Amino acid sequence: MTSSAVQQISTVTQNLWVQLLDQLQLISQQYPDAVFANSLAAEDMVIEHAIRQQNLAITSFMLDTGRLPKETLALAKRVEQQYQSAITVLHPDTEAVVAHVAEHGAYAFYDSLSLRQACCQLRKVQPLQRYLQGKSAWITGQRREQSQTRTQLQAHEHDMQFGLEKFNPLCDWHTDNVWEVIRALDIPYNPLHDQGYPSIGCEPCTRAIRPGEDLRAGRWWWEQRHSVECGLHAAPLSQSSTTQELS
């Protein structure tokens, strides 16, 4: 971080940034096949920048569900151009999606929680499961502050759902910390964030939030708030004994 950038952010955020750089270096050393799930959210752009700044051998990947906003897809291209590093793009099984839509309709996820979860399984969870198979670790941009379903998030967990280690290096960051770094380092971000979308997923399942709502209130807003996860980040996860080493 340059001296001019340092002057733009608080001491707390500076310390968090240095810790992030150190954590990612250590993850890369201990888990050479570690991969980073870049949803192209603001948090993930901070991690992407930190990885590329250090030239770490951590592969970034994204889930293209077939229903992402055009702004998200445009940002993916910009990221590849700016950092000169390809993002591995995961896609759902086309035949399975076609069959699901034929049976239930293109917008069945509005009809029930089970149909919404089935859609997420097809478009997100199953492609991720296939991709993570055989890998030892993955990295996410999840933060405790994001919603009530993430308040127990740990920096290092064993992901029992997918059978590998999981790192959440921004778990104790706050929104202000994320945006301080983005602005100080001129990190690209999704323009939908400037339009009231702190959390961005598939286009038909995401809306802008209202004043006073939590950061993920715009995701699957028609459901009860205890269900606002797509299945990628299932709980409970077991906290790793090496958490302190990487925190």
- Between CA 165 and CA 247 the distance in angstroms is 14
Count CA atoms closer than 13 A to 45's CA, side-chain side.
Answer: 28
- Kindly state the tokens that stand for 206: 């995401």
First to last CA, the chain: 20
Looking at residue 8, what DSSP letter applies? T
β-strand partners of 80: none
List, in sequence order, every beta strand (DSSP E) within 65-108.
88-90
Phi, psi torsion values for 59, nearest 5 degrees? -80, 130
Query: Considering only CA atoms, which of 221, 228, 42, 41 is closest in space to residue 147?
Result: 228
Q: Please indicate whether residue 230 is annotated as part of the active site.
A: yes
| Active-site residue (options: 119, 120, 171, 230) | 230
Active site residues: 230
